[in-house]
Amino acid sequence: AQSVSQHNHHVILSEAASLELGCNYSYGGTVNLFWYVQYPGQHLQLLLKYFSGDPLVKGIKGFEAEFIKSKFSFNLRKPSVQWSDTAEYFCAAAPSGSARQLTFGSGTQLTVLP
Amino acid sequence: NAGVMQNPRHLVRRRGQEARLRCSPMKGHSHVYWYRQLPEEGLKFMVYLQKENIIDESGMPKERFSAEFPKEGPSILRIQQVVRGDSAAYFCASSPNGAGGHTGELFFGEGSRLTVL
């Protein structure tokens, strides 16, 4: 069965610190990978996605993620976080060619201190 | 993304009552998904529907929960005889028709937060 694991439940950083959120997936075939962000009181928004090609993908608001196939990982990074990045971040995976069941990780709550 | 409309945003029910949550997908989308987010947990897939068809309901509890997506009107997630454990945020998402194949990208609504007293 497909699964997605996020290692950190809660991360607290000061502004300007660098961020890396871990994500590992378990699936035997080719997958599409996503990071979604949920700001307080808002709906989930797509941050970035990987389907194929360059394993380093850039998303909105300065975020990027690297797909490492050998490690089944898709970690999210940002060189310098801002207070406005405080949100919950969800990693997700779906089998390529199918939207039938997007599987989410349990989420990481990021708190950025001003 | 704000095109996926869910209502009500907040719903309070007493144990034993029924809850109905509605979702209108983005214009041109005919695939609807329902997810449940329990406190301090991630989103859990419940059901995937296309117009008038349930495609995958493997995440739906076997009892009390049902979903539909009629030819006309919004998709409805119905919870009968609610219990306290049903308190959660229920998110609807939609995706476009399969032109180019399914990519897995979903567009989410703002969620309906159900509180069972």
Q: Report whether pLDDT(A97) > 70.
A: no
Report the pLDDT averaged over residues A10-39: 93
Residue B112 has a pLDDT of 95
| Residues in chain B closer than 8 A to A100 (CB atoms) | 48, 55-56, 102
CB contact under 8 A, B41 and A32: no
CB contact under 8 A, B1 and A46: yes
Report the pLDDT averaged over residues A107-113: 95
Interface residue of B29, B34, B103, B113 to substitute, partner A, most A CBs within 10 Å: B103
CB contact under 8 A, B110 and A42: yes
Better-scored residue on pLDDT, B38 or A14 = A14
pLDDT tens readout for residues A61-92:
999 999 999 999 999 999 999 999 999 999 99
Q: Could you give the percent of chain B with pLDDT greater than 70?
A: 91
Residue A102 has a pLDDT of 81
Residue B100 has a pLDDT of 34
Q: Report whether pLDDT(B101) > 50.
A: no
Residue B105 has a pLDDT of 76
Residue A4 has a pLDDT of 92
Round the average pLDDT of chain B to a whole number and report it: 89
Residue A99 has a pLDDT of 56
CB contact under 8 A, A90 and B43: yes
Can you spell out the DSSP letters for chain B? -TTSEEE-SEEEE-TT--EEEEEEPPTTEEEEEEEEE-TTS-EEEEEEEETTEEEE-TTS-SSSEEEE--SSS-EEEEE-S--GGG-EEEEEEEEE-STT-B----EE---EEEEE-
Residue B1 has a pLDDT of 45
| Residues in chain A closer than 8 A to B103 (CB atoms) | 32, 49, 51, 94, 99
- Put simply, whether B95 touches A (Cβ < 8 Å) is yes
Q: Report whether pLDDT(B66) > 50.
A: yes
A to B CB pairs, distance under 8 Å: 77
Residue B98 has a pLDDT of 46
pLDDT tens readout for residues B3-53:
899 999 999 999 999 999 999 999 888 889 999 998 777 788 899 999 889
- First-last CA distance in chain A: 41
Contact call for residues B89 and B111 (beta carbons, < 8 A): yes
